[in-house]
Structure 1
Amino acid sequence: MRRPIRELAVATPFVLSKAAVFGLFIAVPFVYTFVLTFQRGSILSGLRFTGLDNYRTIFADTLFRDSLRNTLLFMSISTPVTLIVAGSVGLLLASKLRGMVIHRTLIYLPSLLSVVATGLIWKVLIDPEQGPLHLLMRRVFGLEIPWLTDGTTAIVFLALITAWSGCGFYGLVFMAGFNSIPGDLLEAARIDGASTWQVLTRIKLPLIQPVIQVVLALVTINAVQVFDLVFIMTNGGPGTATYTAMWYVYQNAFNGGSVAYAATMSVILLGITAIISAAFLGRRAAVDQ
């Protein structure tokens, strides 16, 4: 009996320290966010309990609905593009070609850039006066693209940048999935006369279904929470065309809005994210069974 007690005594300080950090930086802010949703006012001037007023207001808020629609548009573009591009990259990286180590490094480099660096790089590339990409599209293809001055173009462009910056990381995830497929199984399929397309669609993709679902969940959740790229490149403009849900939360929390109202929107976004995660994880569990 003495040994378990001694081990418990040694482990307790380490467990308590972890629990204290979790409680201070995660559990307490999480609970306080829910408490804020039932209040009005500011933290400095004082808060008062108002019940469900924030929820009633938010469901009548047209700008919040617009931000959700913009987020949905962003997600509907970035998610499939990321899946297709990252899956193709992963398939290429899993092949046994010369110099693949160098290619893997180069493809992963965009994922190492911070979002701030990514946004600034692309802003330089599309600068209307001296941007290399803008000048290329104008002089070679005769296209004058309103990269960030047209609402639809701006949200599509931000989604494509997000897909570009994430394809390296997700490509490596797909590569790991493809490399986990037994080589004997692929060789047997080729001996039986299966084409490259049949091997891909009938063997490889079904076998990496769990990988696809995990990547799909991660990409979708990141799309719902997009904020930093909007902050760097558009500030929600032109007008409110790139007002995503998280950008609207930020505006209310730090730019003269209500912290309690921002907390209410955060809780609603948490619910949306939880539903998406549950859908993907539930589907994966069903597949595993």
Structure 2
Amino acid sequence: MIRRSLLDLAQALPFLLPKAAVFGVFVLVPFGYTILLTFQQGSLLSGLTYAGLDNYRTVLTDTLFRQTLVNTAVFMLICVPATIVVTLLVGMLLSSSVRGMSAYRTLIYLPSLLSIVATGLVWKIMVDSEYGPVSNLFSQVLGIDVPWLTDATVTMVFLALITLWSTCGFYSIIFMAGFNNIPTDVLEAARIDGASGWRLFIKIKMPLIRPVLQLVLILVTINSIQVFDLVYVLTNGGPGTATYTAMWYIYQSAFNGGSLSYAATMSIVLLLVTAVISAIFIGRTRSDGSDYE
């Protein structure tokens, strides 16, 4: 038995080693070096010196970093529920049998093909106070001057809406696949028992797509915590520090006169926060497989 296992391993090694090498070079080595940087101070040019836990102590007392975590949490609380609800409903609609549904699916998915930087630039032009068609629509037609990028609350909501618009197609397709994977005989049996409409959706479909919901919830949460591109393109952390997110602060610390070691430390702390939140979501939405019995 052992000899057979060793023979199987020897046959598999030529296929596993290239992937393991790529994973080690591009994932394990950078991650290990990042952890090493957290225990040092200085710069790559002038040299690094051992600093022990000083960077972690600084993170714990850094009021700006705490503010960035609060801003990131606010963005997440706006973006995650809105994205889950909208994409869940859109995914359910896309899973229905309607003539021309392939065209609708393509149109819904198109924004997801754009880079988030291009998306941000397009929307920045759209809400320009002088020439933006969206701003002109609100000001000239509706008589409302919306401070898209100058008011703290409006800007945060605006960033969340752009994120929802750009990712709606991707997450909707995932939900669509989940709905399409529900056994038709289960739905037919539920309809025979009198379930229909909202009751069928809540009692039958939702429990059966719980693993898909868990996946999308974690992906949306991680995407929200790591928001950076839109902040870079649209706000630069403003107005004031209203959109100064954790990833933006890490970027500023690493590349704009800060400390690379301190940026690495904040990255590790943010990773731990993300892992804790993801673990909580996994625990809360875990399926024991009974939904499929």
Is the TM-score greater than 0.5? yes
- The structure-2 alpha-carbon separation of the partners of 1:197 and 1:62, relative to structure 1 and needing over 3 Å to count, comes to same
The equivalent residue for 1:150 is 151
Structure 1 residue ranges without an equivalent (≥5): none
1:80 alignment partner AA: P
Report the more deviating stretch, 273-282 or 36-45: 273-282
The equivalent residue for 2:93 is 92
1:191 to partner: Cα distance: 3.1
The equivalent residue for 1:209 is 210
Q: How does 1:265-280 map to 2 (within 5 A)?
A: 265-280=266-281
The whole-number CA distance in structure 2 between the counterparts of 1:151 and 1:56 is 30
2:259 paired with 1:258 = yes
The equivalent residue for 2:70 is 69
The equivalent residue for 2:134 is 133
Q: Secondary structure at the match of 1:40?
A: strand
1:221 to partner: Cα distance: 0.8
Normalization by structure 1: what TM-score?
0.93
Cα deviation 1:240-259 (Å, max 9, x = unaligned): 11111001000000000000
Q: How does 1:210-289 map to 2 (within 5 A)?
A: 210-285=211-286, 287-288=288-289
Q: Give the conservation status (yes or no) of the 8 Å contact 2:210–2:287.
A: no
Q: Give the conservation status (yes or no) of the 8 Å contact 2:178–2:209.
A: yes
The whole-number CA distance in structure 1 between the counterparts of 2:7 and 2:54 is 53
- The structure-2 alpha-carbon separation of the partners of 1:122 and 1:7, relative to structure 1 and needing over 3 Å to count, comes to same
1:181 to partner: Cα distance: 1.5
- The structure-2 alpha-carbon separation of the partners of 1:47 and 1:80, relative to structure 1 and needing over 3 Å to count, comes to same
The whole-number CA distance in structure 1 between the counterparts of 2:4 and 2:279 is 42
The whole-number CA distance in structure 2 between the counterparts of 1:156 and 1:18 is 41
1:9 to partner: Cα distance: 6.8
Q: How does 1:43-82 map to 2 (within 5 A)?
A: 43-82=44-83
- The structure-2 alpha-carbon separation of the partners of 1:106 and 1:13, relative to structure 1 and needing over 3 Å to count, comes to same
1:4 to partner: Cα distance: 9.3
Q: Secondary structure at the match of 2:142?
A: coil
Q: Secondary structure at the match of 2:244?
A: coil
Q: Secondary structure at the match of 2:131?
A: coil
Structure 2 residue ranges without an equivalent (≥5): none
The equivalent residue for 1:104 is 105
> Percent identity between the aligned chains?
64
Cα deviation 1:93-151 (Å, max 9, x = unaligned): 01111110100000000111111111011111101111111111112221111001111
Aligned CA RMSD, in angstroms, stands at 2.1
The whole-number CA distance in structure 2 between the counterparts of 1:9 and 1:190 is 53
The whole-number CA distance in structure 2 between the counterparts of 1:5 and 1:195 is 55
The equivalent residue for 2:18 is 17
Q: Secondary structure at the match of 1:243?
A: coil
Report the more deviating stretch, 2-11 or 196-205: 2-11
Q: Give the conservation status (yes or no) of the 8 Å contact 2:42–2:259.
A: yes
1:258 alignment partner AA: S
The whole-number CA distance in structure 2 between the counterparts of 1:98 and 1:115 is 31
1:192 to partner: Cα distance: 3.1
Q: Give the conservation status (yes or no) of the 8 Å contact 2:254–2:260.
A: yes
2:138 alignment partner AA: M
Q: Secondary structure at the match of 1:41?
A: strand
Q: Give the conservation status (yes or no) of the 8 Å contact 1:86–1:168.
A: yes
- The structure-2 alpha-carbon separation of the partners of 1:71 and 1:5, relative to structure 1 and needing over 3 Å to count, comes to closer
- The structure-2 alpha-carbon separation of the partners of 1:35 and 1:5, relative to structure 1 and needing over 3 Å to count, comes to closer
The whole-number CA distance in structure 2 between the counterparts of 1:184 and 1:231 is 49
Report the more deviating stretch, 253-262 or 171-180: 171-180
The whole-number CA distance in structure 1 between the counterparts of 2:13 and 2:200 is 53
The whole-number CA distance in structure 2 between the counterparts of 1:6 and 1:189 is 50
1:21 to partner: Cα distance: 2.4
Q: Secondary structure at the match of 2:154?
A: helix
1:276 to partner: Cα distance: 2.0
Q: How does 1:176-187 map to 2 (within 5 A)?
A: 176-187=177-188
Q: How many residues align?
A: 289
Report the more deviating stretch, 181-190 or 165-174: 181-190
Q: Give the conservation status (yes or no) of the 8 Å contact 1:252–1:262.
A: yes
Q: Secondary structure at the match of 1:25?
A: helix
